[in-house]
Amino acid sequence: MIDINLLREHPEKVKENIKKKFQDEKLPLIDEILKLDSKWKKLKYDEDNLRSQRNKISKSIAEEIKKGNKKEAENLKKKAKEIPEKIDKSEVKRKKLEEKIKEILMKIPNIMHDSVPVGKNERENVEIKRIGEPKVPSYEIFNHAELAEKLNGVDFDDARKTSGNGFYYLKGDLSRLHSALLSYAKDYMIREGFEFIIPPFMIRSEVVDGVMSFKEKDNMMYKIEGEDLYLIGTSEHSLIGMFAGKTLNGKNLPYKITGISPCFRKEGGAHGIEEKGFYRVHQFEKQEMILICDPEESYVWYEKMLAITTNIFKELGIPVRILECCSGDLADLKAKSADVEAWSPRQKKYYEVGSCSNLTDAQARRLNIRAEKNGKTYFVHTLNNTVIASPRALIAVLENFQEKDGAVGIPKVLQPYMGGMKKIEARKL
């Protein structure tokens, strides 16, 4: 949610930001907010005048009583009694306007960083860096789902019977590899000074509305019927939510947190949900990192967080690239974002395995997260970044470490988490 003062003082800047995101249908909302804001200001002005009148009348009553003018004092008392009712009526109208203004403000996209490239959709995202050398072996690379079945590491059929498409049973050494990825990532983040937290896996609607746009909410979140609870789509949601309504000690910033959780996503209308595999599913596990910091430090931390993820994949031995998200591919709360993509030797292209985002003060305003330092209170900046999303990282290991006979080598950094195992080989049923 953007600062209404920015909209009051620089409405054209907000409109230009909307145009760059190709959301022209939202342009009329700016004028609508300004009209409502004008009415709000008038009501606030009238209320202040009424309170001033009440104070003046109170003084006049005291003066008239001193003079012995009881009749005049009684007349003034009658006038004074009418004022609180007028103030109450005005406050009711003003609060309704505040609610309407806030509702519209939450539809206005965050102001993007100047460095964000202008583009209509993900096809216009810009590659900014590659880490590691992508290779394609001379032998055939099996599809990850097919290979996982050959390794007796997955059961899609029984999962389809119990839960439908978009689910799977992970088994044996493949489930160990999945856990190894998360354990390695957890230990890596702890070494980086992040506090490890296992968060709640359900959150209330007010937290959902605080951490994401309405469009994201509709496309992603599973609602618990009959309760004000949603299943989280990422641990970021509940990790940010734990700071809602708080005023933090600015001297303790930044707060560096990492959390592992199951993630639940509707993936409504998403291409590929009917396909067998791990790429697009309704349930998976992911390690996330979030950071809460002073506004002037957020872009420095953005680069540091992005470097953490790319270095993790570098240590795993998986080539990746960084794509700068263009304006049209940027979610409304994000001021700047980059996707990390891993190399697929089978498809001979990169695919998304994570995303790093700076939301500046958009989430903080929605959730009222502030900090106080040197007598000044201000909204903090929030950032989030994928450490490891296990299914997609698992695909990257299966493809990049697949050997000619169908066995899968285990990255050296994961071998201690696998009891020293160096390779996963197909097993007979």
Task: Tokens for 128, please give them.
Answer: 């900014």
Alpha-carbon separation of residue 108 from 122, 212, 223, 241, 394 (angstroms):
20, 12, 24, 21, 37
Range of the domain at 240: 122-424
Q: Omega of the bond prior to 319 within 30 degrees of 0, cis?
A: no
Model pLDDT, residue 427:
66
Look at the block and give the residue holding tokens 């430090």: 297
- Whether residues 139 and 64 fall in one domain: no
- Residue 204 in domain: yes
| Tens digit of each residue's pLDDT, the chain (429 residues) | 889 999 999 999 999 999 999 999 999 999 999 999 999 999 999 999 999 888 888 888 888 788 888 788 777 888 888 888 899 999 999 999 999 999 999 999 999 999 999 999 999 999 999 999 999 999 999 999 999 999 999 999 999 999 998 899 999 999 999 999 999 999 999 999 999 999 999 999 999 999 988 778 888 899 999 999 999 999 999 999 999 999 999 999 999 999 999 999 987 544 555 567 888 899 999 999 999 999 999 999 999 999 999 999 999 999 999 999 999 999 999 999 999 999 999 999 999 999 999 999 999 999 999 999 999 999 999 999 999 998 999 999 999 999 998 899 999 999 999 999 999 987 654
Tell whether 323 is covered by a domain.
yes
Q: Which of these three, 105, 133, 164, is where a domain ends?
A: 105
Claim to verify: residue 156 and residue 183 sit in the same structural domain: yes
> Does 218 lie in the same domain as 193?
yes
Task: Look at the chain and report how many structural domains it folds into.
Answer: 2
| Same domain, yes or no: 71 and 167 | no
Distance, in Å, from the CA atom of 254 to the CA atom of 381, rounded to the nearest integer, reads: 10
Q: Are residues 31 and 169 in the same domain?
A: no
Task: Judge contact between 13 and 5, C-beta under 8 A.
Answer: no
Per-residue pLDDT at 429: 45
On whether both 96 and 130 belong to a single domain, the answer is no
| pLDDT the model gives residue 78 | 82
Within-domain flag for 26 = yes
**Together in a domain, 40 and 182:** no
Residue 32 falls inside a structural domain: yes
Could you tell me if 78 and 130 lie in one domain? Answer: no
Is residue 409 in a domain?
Answer: yes
Q: Are residues 140 and 79 in the same domain?
A: no
CA dihedral of residues 301, 306, 311, 316 (deg, nearest 10): 140
CATH number reported for the structural domain that contains residue 96 in this entry:
1.10.287.40
The residue from 50, 80, 105 where one domain ends is 105
Nearest to 319 by CA among 338, 340, 341, 343: 343
Instruction: Give yes or no: residues 222 and 282 share one domain.
Output: yes
The answer to whether residues 98 and 151 belong to one domain is no
Task: Give the whole-angstrom CA distance, residue 67 versus residue 64.
Answer: 5
State the pLDDT at residue 272.
52
Q: Is residue 324 part of a domain?
A: yes
Domain CATH for 348: 3.30.930.10
* Domain termination residue (choose one: 105, 135, 152): 105
* Same domain as 148, residue 40: no
Burial pattern 63-91, b for ≥16 Cβ within 10 A else e, equals ebeeeeeeeebeebeeebeeeeeebeebe
Which of 202, 217, 231, 201 minimizes the C-alpha distance to 331? 217
Asked if residue 75 belongs to a domain, the reply is yes
CA distance 287 to 179: 11
The verdict on residue 356 lying in a domain is: yes
Q: Where would I find the H helices in 292-379? A: 298-316, 362-367
